[in-house]
Structure 1
Amino acid sequence: MTQSAPDFTALLRSAEHSAAHLEMRDSYMDDPVFAAWRQGSSVQLPEEYRVWSELVKETVGRGVGMRRARVVSEPVTDYIRWEHAITEQHNIAAGEQVRWLPRRLSSDLALPGNDLWLIDDRRVLFHWFTGDGDWAGHEFNEDPAVVKMVVSAFEAVWDRGIPHQQYTV
């Protein structure tokens, strides 16, 4: 059943066992840190990145496993190259596990049409983006059939995904 989306921080704080994030786009909205990186400037992560890291540390500290899987086209876009460059200091240092799946290895997988967060294998928060990668909204869903499909898709991507430390861009 589709419901109004809860506050994301509250949703993540409600996780008891697991939080999984599936990303399937090759670029997202403009980010000033990304823009600086593209111009060769050193990457200084702004406050909102530190807030995210603290939320991840808090969540993992409660015993919640956090996994992030990224399905990417190859050769990768500059945006993905940047995400890869900051993953160690931003995601992994906070406690997330991250894997990368080249899109060519996902052709036989049934994948949802949108990025998402899966909480405790019971709740899904889908994220919508415009074609240019700008935020377009989200949808919360607890329908058992939808959740089952999402769990299956995420686990298939995770099983095939390459751990961050082994994936090169």
Structure 2
Amino acid sequence: MSQSLTDFADLIRSAQVSAVHLEMRDTYGVANEVEGFDAWKRGHRLDRDDCASWWRPWLDLVQEVTARGVLIRRARIVSEPVSDYIAFEHSGTFTNVAAGEQVRWLPRRQASDLALPGNDCWIFDGRLVQFNIFDGVGRWVHTDQTDDPAVTELCVAAFEAVWDRAVPHEKYTV
């Protein structure tokens, strides 16, 4: 399924209780991050005091949804030592936290005994799963959605198992 950012924003806005995101790749090649990643590699870092320069409109959406009481959590499974891309993500994650997301990091070696879905996913209100499908170099290809109870149960259990073991962002160092 092809999905626009507007469609995804509407999906997050439809959440009543929670929207959780499980990320399991060590690198992503998402087009809208290329410029920021390249700048980061050249030494640029986000200014904690310049909120206007942060990742918009995503952070505005997070603030809007969390202000309604919806819990947004993100768990990232990462190899260590981390890839440059993960170090880049980590350096900017304070913006997600400031917007209202809760973020945790799990070293991949601590996930070996967990049953995990084959792709990154979002889970909305524990009832709808959206899998994000990437190609081999981390470019987004498409999304698949399901409300199949067995798949949803697997993904919810996987996310919660990762979340329980993972380190809160403010305590995880790269």
Distance 1:58 1:42 in 2: 25
Partners of 1:65 and 1:12 lie apart in 2 by 11
Measure how far apart 1:46 and its partner are. 8.7
Query: What are structure 1's unaligned runs of at least 5 residues?
Result: none
Question: Structure 1 residue 110 and structure 2 residue 115: aligned?
Answer: yes
* 1:160 paired residue number: 165
- Find the aligned partners of 2:156 and 2:165 in 1 and give their Cα distance: 14
Cα shift at 1:5: 6.4
Q: In 2 relative to 1, CA 148–106 (structure 1 residues): closer, same or farther, beyond 3 Å?
A: same
RMSD: 1.9
Per-residue CA distance 1:3-52 (angstroms, 9 max, x = gap): 88692111100000000000000000152101100011344799792200
Q: What is residue 39 of structure 1 aligned with on the other side?
A: 42
Q: Give the 3 Å change call, closer, same or farther, for CA 149–113 of structure 1 in structure 2.
A: same
Correspondence for 1:66: 72
Q: State whether residues 122 and 131 of structure 2, in contact with CA within 8 Å, keep that contact through their aligned partners in structure 1.
A: yes
1:8-157 to 2 correspondence within 5 Å? 8-29=8-29, 31-43=34-46, 49-88=55-94, 90-157=95-162
For structure 2, the residue ranges without an aligned partner over 5 or more in a row are none
Q: What amino acid is aligned across from residue 84 of structure 1 in structure 2?
A: H
Say how many residue pairs are matched: 166
Indicate the SS of the match to 2:74. Answer: strand
Q: Secondary structure at the match of 1:49?
A: coil
- 1:63 to 1:157, Cα distance in 2 relative to 1, 3 A: same
TM-score normalized by the length of structure 1: 0.92
Percent pairwise identity:
55
User: Which amino acid is 1:99 matched to?
Assistant: R
Aligned amino acid, residue 24 of structure 1: M
Q: Which deviates the most, 138-147 or 38-47?
A: 38-47
Residues of 1 paired with 2:54 and 2:13: CA distance?
Answer: 17
CA contact (8 A) 1:33 1:43 kept: no
